[in-house]
Amino acid sequence: MTQTQIHRHTRLSIFMHWFNAGCWIFLLLTGLGLIQNDDLQPFTSWPTILRIVFGGGANLLLAHEIVGVTWAGGFFLYGIVRLKSDVLPFFREIFNVNIHRDFLWLVAKGIQMTLGYRALGVIAEKFGFSPVIPDQGFYNIGQKIFAVPAVFGGIVIVASGITMILSQIGMASTELVQWAILVHFITVGLVFAGLLIHVFMASIAAGEQPAFISMFTGSVPEDYARHHHKLWLDEVKKS
């Protein structure tokens, strides 16, 4: 049974998504391997394993830096080329928040994802709110909330990473670099914590398979769009 497919992602944004995912996995694993210090590294054998795989810490650092600069450079170019068509609309969308509707969505969806619809019904009745999960736009509020640390965290990660590279060509003070290392670690940790949710919601969670497939095909079935991003579908239909 075929149903109407709604265009959701351009080829370039699909490419950027998987480019981002690939770089993130590589940078996360190599970055974790770069931390070799008994007081700072909970997974003590990981740095040792990676240093064997890469043939020494120097190669590991170099690989991390090359992929890191490629990642940052890729997004920089994307940002310039698609500023008007992708980037600005993206920011408009993620900051387009309806406090009442979206807060209710967060509460209701959170209960449904962890405790189920029945519990949602009971709790909604007890606290006097509607058990209907409110409609959402191109992104739901959960995605919008994660978009902020993903984008701004990314900028902080790149800035602190560049600071460390500048240190290697003698253009950053030691104190600044020491702070940059800490900021790099903390930011990656926080964004990664959010990424766990993103990966689950987008690939494993029930009913989200069409979203996962759309990250290859670029389009979603109309039913899925109606169920998950109704406000967006309405706008698509209008235009």
Interacting residues toward another protein by CB under 8 A: 34-40, 42, 47, 56-58, 60-62, 112-118, 121, 131-132, 164-165, 167-170, 174-175, 177-179, 181-182, 185-186, 189-190, 192-194, 196-197, 200, 204-206, 226-227
- CA dihedral 65→69→75→76, nearest 10 degrees, is 150
Q: How far is the CB of 8 from another protein (least distance, A)?
A: 19
Nearer to another protein, 14 or 145 (CB): 145
13, 214 contact by CB (below 8 A): no
Nearer to another protein, 1 or 169 (CB): 169
Q: How far is the CB of 181 from another protein (least distance, A)?
A: 6
Q: How far is the CB of 84 from another protein (least distance, A)?
A: 33
Nearer to another protein, 155 or 204 (CB): 204
Q: How far is the CB of 184 from another protein (least distance, A)?
A: 10
Closest by CA position to 195, among listed 67, 30, 31, 28:
28
If one counts every other C-beta atom within 10 angstroms of the C-beta of residue 127, the result is 8
Q: How far is the CB of 165 from another protein (least distance, A)?
A: 8
What is the distance of C-alpha 65 from the center of its chain?
21
Q: Does residue 32 sit in helix, strand or coil?
A: helix
Nearer to another protein, 94 or 133 (CB): 133
Closest by CA position to 110, among listed 142, 78, 80:
142
Nearer to another protein, 78 or 146 (CB): 146
9, 218 contact by CB (below 8 A): yes
